[in-house]
Amino acid sequence: MNFRLFSCVLAFGVSLAAAADRPEKPNIIFILADDLGYGDLSCYGSKLIQTPVIDQMATEGMRFTQFYAGSTVCAPSRCVLMTGKHTGHARVRGNAGRENPAAQMLKSEDITVAEVLKGAGYQTALVGKWGLGMPGDEGIPNRQGFDYFYGYLSQHHAHNHYPDFLWKNTSQDQLPNEVKAIGEFGGGYATKRVVYAGDRLTEEALDFVNRSKDAPFFLYLAYVVPHANNERTRELGDGQEVPEYGIYESKDWPNPDKGQAAMVTRMDSQIGELFAQLKSLGLDDKTVVFFSSDNGPHKEGGNDPEFFDANGPYTGIKRSLTDGGIRVPFIARWPGVIPAGEVSTQVGYFGDIMATLADLAGTPPPAGLDSLSLLPTLTGHPDQQEQRDYLYWEFFEKNPLQAVLMDGRWKAIRDVRSDTVALYDQTQDVAEEHDVAAEHPDLVTQARQKMKEANVPDPLWDINKPAANRAKKK
């Protein structure tokens, strides 16, 4: 099939066989970690970081082993998640930041997952990090389908785990932390720590679930851990802010590594609070919960991803288009509907969330997406799962890159400036260490064709222009 042309009728029809197996309009919670690697969870092979709640979630649900983020950095990955379009024609294709905020903002004409679910009768909330719109503009969550928003608008603000304010809809909720301001948009680090953002976000998530318990709801819970406070790293050498090291306190590790592990384990326990509340409210079997990460692991807080084997068996970290930068954990749990203890090799990515959640809500997704519903796989009918022939990514920082994964096997990465293509056979070389492009010129030609097909020109995101020129484009 053409990756860009999504057939709403086929995808909607394929899942009908599973419809009798599931309640009508379940509650939906999508939990997103920030810079969490494929190998940072115990259920994905971590030997050092303890994540008992997420491990139990995998035991009670389905764990995917070949699922990909929308990008290898924050904003474009979240744009793909929200809109169901890959970075070849998504609104936001890279991190633009202060150089060009207009290029990192959703527009009114963009249709988000939240808008689709709101139209299907869901109460919608975003708690956590947004990164796709700034105060007063059309990209803010409350203008993109979310009834309620609490958290960070700017990704720079979200570096700070002890901010002096968080956004509550369109107003600032002042917090008692005292912050040394660095840069713009509320960035910096705390000189007086009182309220940890992760704790406050959990409280807000629990409160939303409680007040929404009598109607179908969609909660997008976008935690900001284990992302580093980059500004604190530059000044103090340790960006892994956390209230306490907990079970890692006595470890003979550098403090940033203790902080890294403690951030993940603390988030794990907070997810446990959410599951406990679902059970106490009688919503456990009426709620499907997803968990993933926005891209691969980082090393920006002074932590050592090699020490934790954070990318698992894959090569690269955040800002790489090798799988270490984009292959992420993906777990789905829905008691009585999603088979327990299943491990799926189905290839999927963030863009598929739009069609999947629309399918869950019993409503068609918008047209013109790069999105397939994973509901057949999730409900135990993998033989009815529609497949695609490739996935696509772009990356704009420093040396621009394009990548395609064809047939779930052949990974091609193009260096735009040199116009060279490396090719890897992931069935034989998951670490992408052996370039076999010379042995398969036909596949390289196919990859180039797919890259050309997938890239829709945009003056704000021209893959062929240097980053400095793109940043100046208004």
In CATH terms, 391-472 corresponds, of 3.40.50.740, 3.40.50.2300, 3.40.50.300, 3.30.1120.10, to 3.30.1120.10
Task: Take residue 379 and report the two structure tokens written for it.
Answer: 């409900």
Q: CB–CB of 111/358 below 8 Å?
A: no
pLDDT band at residue 316 using 50, 70 and 90 as cut-offs: very high
Domain 8-388: assigned CATH number: 3.40.720.10
Segment 377-384 mean pLDDT: 97
Calculate what percentage of the chain has a pLDDT beyond 70: 93
As a whole number of Å, the end-to-end CA separation of the chain is 35
The whole-chain average pLDDT of the chain stands at: 93
B/e letters for 109-120, b = 16+ CB within 10 Å, e = fewer, are: ebbbbbbbbbeb
Residues of the chain with CATH 3.40.720.10: 8-388
Look at residue 21 in the predicted model and tell me its pLDDT. Answer: 52
Look at residue 96 in the predicted model and tell me its pLDDT. Answer: 84
pLDDT tens digit sequence for 321-380: 999 999 999 999 999 999 999 999 999 999 999 999 999 999 999 999 999 999 999 999
Contacts 24+ apart (CB under 8 A), 87-90: 87/392, 87/393, 87/394, 87/395, 88/4, 88/392, 88/394, 88/454, 88/455, 88/456, 89/4, 89/370, 89/454, 89/455, 89/456, 89/458
The pTM (predicted TM-score) of the whole model is 0.94
Task: Take residue 407 and report the two structure tokens written for it.
Answer: 């047939």
Task: Take residue 157 and report the two structure tokens written for it.
Answer: 């603000």
Least confident among 84-98, 307-321, 334-348, 444-458: 84-98
Least confident among 27-41, 89-103, 420-434: 89-103
Q: Which residue has the tokens 């969490």?
A: 36
pLDDT tens digit sequence for 21-54: 555 899 999 999 999 999 999 999 999 999 999 9
Pairing of strands 148-152, 123-129: parallel
Least confident among 1-10, 20-29, 113-122: 1-10
Residues shown for the chain: 474
pLDDT tens digit sequence for 183-231: 777 789 999 999 999 999 999 999 999 999 999 999 999 999 999 999 9
Residues of the chain with CATH 3.30.1120.10: 391-472
CA distance 405 to 396: 18
Look at residue 24 in the predicted model and tell me its pLDDT. Answer: 80
Look at residue 165 in the predicted model and tell me its pLDDT. Answer: 97
Judge whether residue 473 has pLDDT over 80.
Answer: no
pLDDT tens digit sequence for 236-256: 999 999 999 999 999 999 999
